[in-house]
Amino acid sequence: MKLSRLVGGAVVAVGVVAARDLTQKKHALTRNFPVIAHARYLLETIGPELRQYIVTSNEEERPFTRDQRTWIYASSKEENNYFGFGTDVDVEHTQGHAYIKHRTFASQLPDDHDKTGRLPSAKILGGPRGRAKAFRPESVVNISAMSFGSMSSAAITALNKGAAAAGCMHNTGEGGLSPYHRNGGDIVLQIGTAYFGCRDEHGNFDLARLQDVVASAPVKAIEIKLSQGAKPGLGGLLPAAKVTREIAEIRGIPEGKDCASPSRHTAFGDVDSMLDFVERIADATGLPVGIKSAVGEMAFWHELARLMSPGDRGVDFVTVDGGEGGTGASPLIFADSIAVPYRMGFSRVYGTFAELGLTDRLTFIGSAKLGLPDNAVVAFALGADLVNVAREAMLAIGCIQSQKCHTDKCPTGVATQNPWLVHGLDPTLKSERCAHYITTLRKELMKVSAAVGVAHPGLITADDVDIFCGDYEARSLAAVYGYKDGWGELGADLADEIIRVMHPQATFDEPVP
């Protein structure tokens, strides 16, 4: 009897669906093929998951391949992150692949050189400009800008606790400094076009409020965001559904209403006034102040370098974001076609400062899928002093690349404000994984540096890397991207300075290259 009722109920349900399909006019497919057409929409919905686990090869998927995700997951769990039986990469046909050239003989390095996980910056942030609170970053790997609002409270907590444990910095993103950023990690406070957290009631920048925010947390530096790789020149929108009372209070905006970030700043309108804005903030806070931008037209960068040449004004750091797209949700054309890719953009920016002998005056930070050892090595070889990681850090705390960041339906609770989904992410456990991942990445960078024969990834040069160009031909990184050597007056002493920072008690039988 129960079985017959179940069958009868199923038949009725199918009949209802069929009747609805036959009478609706929105979808021609379901009108022509009632009931069974829904299988097509189901497969379309779970297509990314099917491709991720069944269809694609280990090196085929984007943005992160299965091998890349596996390395991050294993590293974050302190599991074996080695791969056996050779590479999955088609080494003679993968155009654009980077090959790092090891050296047969190299200078002597301490036995524990690549085992401590400690890897400080070669440069002092804010030092060249004499900022009152200049400092040497303790980690060349830091957590990139991701706002509370786009990211869940549990995710931000996990990242900040992980930053504290790993001894690295955590960028707030333009959404402002939330309670979840206050878990011990050193902060880089980002100021976006909407001035969240440091704006007046009319949405204008408010220096006094910025000073209050800086005084309330361990803020190490301030980053002015001009644009980002995911949506350069577009601005952003946090939909009303995500603007909770908490987020509204943090950002200083109305609750339950769409929150739009303008595409450009109102506090300044050209490079000259931007530098005045930078100096105003630096004087008021004592902190190093820099900018973040994707790279489009180069007139901005040429003007910035020209105005910094006299030395009376300037940014303390430049964060270059790649146009490959990042954590921010965006229109497809912006992710695919607006702003140049990281390697091309960074080399152009670095070269602009190198031509005027200015590279010693500021710190260069790379941000664009650089949380993988090979990509990070290329970034350092092109002149980066630090790298910021975002999506890789998300993967370390549980992201599965479901690519639902823009839907508020992230299944792992990382990029959502849905309470049910957020509750599945344990900040304490995930913070440990975040710290393990960052520490492991630094160790990997030290291993590669030692293989190349140098003491620090900042000493890897553009001639130490070849880029495969097709037809069994490879060119040096310097030749491919038109690298310009930026080592100025400080360059000759930089290697010795790095050694002293890395191993203050060590002595060396041979000079460091």
Domain boundaries, the chain: 141-501
Residues 6+ away with beta carbon under 8 Å from 307 = 271, 272, 275, 313, 314
The amino acid at 233: G
The amino acid at 434: C
Bridge partners, residue 189, by sequence? 222
| Distance between CA atoms of residues 265 and 205, nearest Å | 10
Tell me what pLDDT residue 508 has. 46
Do 372 and 393 form a contact (C-beta atoms < 8 A)? Answer: no
Residues 6+ away with beta carbon under 8 Å from 320 = 292, 293, 294, 295, 342, 345, 346, 349, 364, 365, 366, 367, 368, 384
E-strand spans in 316-464?
317-321, 363-367, 386-389
Q: Is the pTM of this model over 0.85?
A: yes
Q: What is the pLDDT of residues 409-430, one digit of tens each?
A: 888 889 888 888 888 889 999 9
Confidence of residue 509 (pLDDT cuts 50, 70, 90): very low
| Distance between CA atoms of residues 442 and 327, nearest Å | 22
CATH architecture of 141-501: Alpha-Beta Barrel (3.20)
Tell me what pLDDT residue 212 has. 95
| Distance between CA atoms of residues 25 and 34, nearest Å | 12
More confident residue, 230 or 212: 212
Question: Residue 142 corresponds to which tokens in the numbers above?
Answer: 């830091």
Q: What is the pLDDT of residues 216-266, one digit of tens each?
A: 999 999 999 998 876 766 766 677 767 788 888 888 888 888 777 788 999
Beta strands at 236-238 and 259-261: parallel, antiparallel or unpaired: antiparallel
Q: What is the pLDDT of residues 449-482, one digit of tens each?
A: 989 988 889 989 999 999 888 767 888 898 888 8
Do 394 and 439 form a contact (C-beta atoms < 8 A)? Answer: no
Count CB atoms within 10 A of the CB of residue 47: 11
Q: What is the pLDDT of residues 117-175, one digit of tens each?
A: 789 998 999 999 999 999 999 999 999 999 998 899 999 999 999 999 999 999 999 98
Do 427 and 340 form a contact (C-beta atoms < 8 A)? Answer: no
The amino acid at 185: G
Beta strands at 465-470 and 473-476: parallel, antiparallel or unpaired: antiparallel
